[in-house]
Structure 1
Amino acid sequence: MQTELNKVIAAVEEFYAQETFLLERDLGERTLTHRLAVYVERQFSGWQVDCNYDRLGERTLRLPRGSTISTDDHLGKSIYPDIVVHQRDIPNNLLAIELRKDGNHQPVEHDQRKLQALTDPNVWFAYAVGVLLIVGKDGVSLSEVYAGGVIDSTASRWFAERLDAGGLAGKHDNSAQH
């Protein structure tokens, strides 16, 4: 998992080095998500990187009945991860990233539950790793790592320390910490 997380850190580093124009002008999450995906793609040779991708092969990613995740579609069951690293044809799901701006006032629990669902080994489309990134002008204000359907506290601490050591940690909002 550290190999994948190191690649995410390198992508975040390049994102902050290249995208100050967007960050300073407070552009929307979808714009920031796309730009981060560009840098993620550079790190994951041999993998496809997509935004809002809701398929596994020919099947639509759908959550199990009774899920607490609300989604954007009219049926309320499809799931659209912000950024995914996968192999479309096999299918093979490696990494799901949820990105939020630190000014987003919607509850962070929605993205946390989505990453729990996306990494749940009991669902047929499980991703090996999930990462939550809350980004601000000055750096990542909160990050969490998910594996096996739960937050991985050890990996989350390691990831946050690596961001901090690289000068990528912004003001910390501890309200979403567990």
Structure 2
Amino acid sequence: MQTELNKVIAAVRDFYAHEGFLFEKDVGERAVTHRFAVYLEKQFAGWSVDCNYDRLGERTLHLPHGTIISTDDHLGKSIYPDVVVHQREIPNNLLTVEIRKASNHTPLEHDRHKLRALTDAHVWFAYWIGVLLVLDKQHVTMSEVYVSGVVDEPLSRWFATRLESGLGAAH
């Protein structure tokens, strides 16, 4: 898992090294998410990296019954992860990332619920790892790592420490 998370850290470092304009102009989160996905794709050779991907093979990703996560579709059933690293054809789900700008003042709970659902081993589309990133103009202000439907506290601390030192080295 640390190997995959180190790739996320490298993507964050490259993103901040090249995309300061996005924060200077205060562009929307979807544009930020897309540009982050570009750098993440460079780290995961042999994997597909997609934004708002709502499929598992031919099937649409649906939320577990009874979940409180809101969705973007009119039926309230599909789920749209911000960025995923996966193999579309097999299907094989490795990593899902939820990205928020620090200026977004809506509660974090929506993203947290989504990551718990997306990494829950009891659902048929589970991702191995989930990452929550809150991005400010020059650094990640908050991060969490999800495994098996819950925040992995030790891994989250390790990730946050590596993220800080990795970004510090880039500036």
Is the structural similarity TM-score above 0.5?
yes
Give the gaps of 5 or more residues in structure 2: none
| Cα-to-partner distance string for 1:6-44 (whole Å, 9 max, x where unaligned) | 000000000000001111111110000000000000000
In the aligned structure 2, how far is the partner of 1:8 from the partner of 1:23?
Answer: 20
Task: Give the deviation of 1:166 after TM superposition.
Answer: 1.9
Q: What residue number does 2:15 align with?
A: 15
What pairs up with 1:1-178 in 2 under 5 angstroms? 1-167=1-167
Task: Give the deviation of 1:167 after TM superposition.
Answer: 3.0
In the aligned structure 2, how far is the partner of 1:80 from the partner of 1:3?
Answer: 25
In the aligned structure 1, how far is the partner of 2:46 from the partner of 2:123?
Answer: 24
Task: Give the deviation of 1:138 after TM superposition.
Answer: 1.8
In the aligned structure 1, how far is the partner of 2:140 from the partner of 2:52?
Answer: 21
Matching residue's letter, 1:72: D
Give the gaps of 5 or more residues in structure 1: 169-178
Matching residue's letter, 1:144: E
In the aligned structure 2, how far is the partner of 1:88 from the partner of 1:166?
Answer: 30
In the aligned structure 2, how far is the partner of 1:14 from the partner of 1:24?
Answer: 17
Mean alpha-carbon deviation: is it higher for 61-70 or for 92-101? 61-70
Identity of paired residues, percent? Answer: 69
In the aligned structure 2, how far is the partner of 1:165 from the partner of 1:49?
Answer: 25
Matching residue's letter, 2:134: I
- Does the CA-based 8 Å contact 2:64-2:117 persist in structure 1? no
Q: CA RMSD in A?
A: 0.7
- Does the CA-based 8 Å contact 2:145-2:152 persist in structure 1? yes
| Cα-to-partner distance string for 1:23-77 (whole Å, 9 max, x where unaligned) | 1111110000000000000000000000000000000000111011011110111
* Secondary structure in structure 1 of the residue aligned to 2:162: helix
Q: What is the number of equivalent residue pairs in this alignment?
A: 168
Task: Give the deviation of 1:106 after TM superposition.
Answer: 0.8
* Secondary structure in structure 1 of the residue aligned to 2:167: coil
* Secondary structure in structure 2 of the residue aligned to 1:31: helix
Structure 1 residue runs of 4 or more that deviate by more than 3 Å after TM superposition: none
Matching residue's letter, 2:2: Q
